[in-house]
Structure 1
Amino acid sequence: MDIKEIQNLIKFVAKSGASEVKLEMDDIKITIKTGSDQDVPSVQYAPIAQPQLQQVAAPVAEAKPAAETAAPAASASNDSKYITIKSPIIGTFYRKPAPDKPLFVEVGQTIAEGDVLCIIEAMKLFNEIESEVSGKIVKILVDDSSPVEFDQPLFLVDPS
């Protein structure tokens, strides 16, 4: 089971309203718990030891970090002067309050602290995400109506 399948399972459980789901397969065991006192579902992922899977997965795990380190290093130097506004919750990202309403912010727009930048829908609740900084929107990193994860970058803001 790959990470996309696990993410889709989390979204399905969150939308279904179930409080707990346990899934056991040959090589993994997953428990997803949601509760009224928690804002986001918690996931426990426990792989069950199987020698063949570990031998196959080890070379892939070693090759991945080398490829991932080169790309962020190049983009980090370009974006280092900007402030990144990140998602405080898991949910669906919306750029406008309703389909027939105008966008909250656009690239090039100047924002102030407290301005609403977007809405993130989580478990049928629409959460307004407000800016914690003043500046100019340089880039919007997420498409409208797409799922976002906790701490995922949403906007780049030039504070100058």
Structure 2
Amino acid sequence: MSEMKLSVADITKLMNEMAKTGLGKLVLEDGDFKLNLSAKRPKLAVCTSSEVQAEIPNVPVMPVADMPAESPALSGNVVEAPIVGTFYGAPAPDKAPFVTVGQQVKKGDVLFIIESMKLMNEIQSEFDGEVAEILVEDGQPVEYSQPVMVIR
């Protein structure tokens, strides 16, 4: 039986490739070794066997069964990140945000930007209504289909 050895750099490289391609889940298995990478959650979850945990002790490992439950359901029209990238609420650091909580928006209004692969992608509203919640901070990384904003 061969023994699979992955370094922190190898796992980080896999995670970066997942972020670039938008891949939601990757499972590697070899004998007793199992590595699950999932990008469906706000943070990438890494679940490994105890052998890998001993090899890279500074990386917290959480079995899937022990992961926290999803956040409670959001009420209203949830705007999700259409791509993996970095959230920006304003067109530039010295400019006013596109929208604020309590502001009325119409379908087609720019709500925020997601920077992905050095491109600034303007995300437009698919709904008419009032911005009820902004769920991420400026400059925070977002995952594909992560809730970013609620419009009611």
In 2: Cα distance, 1:104 partner to 1:134 partner:
15
Q: Tell me by how many angstroms 1:50 deviates.
A: 1.2
In 1: Cα distance, 2:114 partner to 2:33 partner:
42
Q: Tell me by how many angstroms 1:98 deviates.
A: 0.7
In 2: Cα distance, 1:51 partner to 1:41 partner:
25
1 or 2 for the larger relative contact order (CA 8 Å, sep ≥6)? 2
Q: Tell me by how many angstroms 1:10 deviates.
A: 5.7
Unaligned runs of 5+ in 1: 14-31, 35-39
Cα–Cα, structure 1 residues 126 and 45, in superposed 2: closer, same or farther, change >3 Å?
A: same
Residues 40-76 of structure 1: CA deviation (Å, up to 9, x unaligned): 415544132217938xxxx943344xx51xx64xx32
Give the fraction of aligned pairs with identical amino acids, expressed as a percent: 38
TM-score by length of 1: 0.62
CA RMSD of aligned residues (A): 3.3
Query: Quick one: which of 101, 109, 114 aligns to 2:108?
Result: 114
Query: Quick one: which of 50, 64, 68 aligns to 1:61?
Result: 64
TM-score by length of 2: 0.65
SS of 2:65's partner is helix
Q: Tell me by how many angstroms 1:122 deviates.
A: 0.5
Count how many residue pairs are aligned between Structure 1 and Structure 2: 119
- Provide the residue aligned with 1:23 in structure 2: none
Residues 70-103 of structure 1: CA deviation (Å, up to 9, x unaligned): x64xx32xx33x1100000000100000111110
Query: Quick one: which of 130, 134, 137 aligns to 1:140?
Result: 134
Alignment of 1:1-160 (within 5 A): 9=13, 13=16, 32=17, 40-41=20-21, 43=23, 44-50=26-32, 53=49, 60-64=63-67, 68=69, 72=71, 75-76=72-73, 79-80=74-75, 82-158=76-152
Q: Is the 8 A contact 1:97 1:104 kept in 2?
A: yes
Cα–Cα, structure 1 residues 100 and 42, in superposed 2: closer, same or farther, change >3 Å?
A: closer
Once the two structures are overlaid, the 10-residue window that deviates more, 41-50 or 84-93, is: 41-50
Q: Is the 8 A contact 2:136 2:148 kept in 1?
A: yes
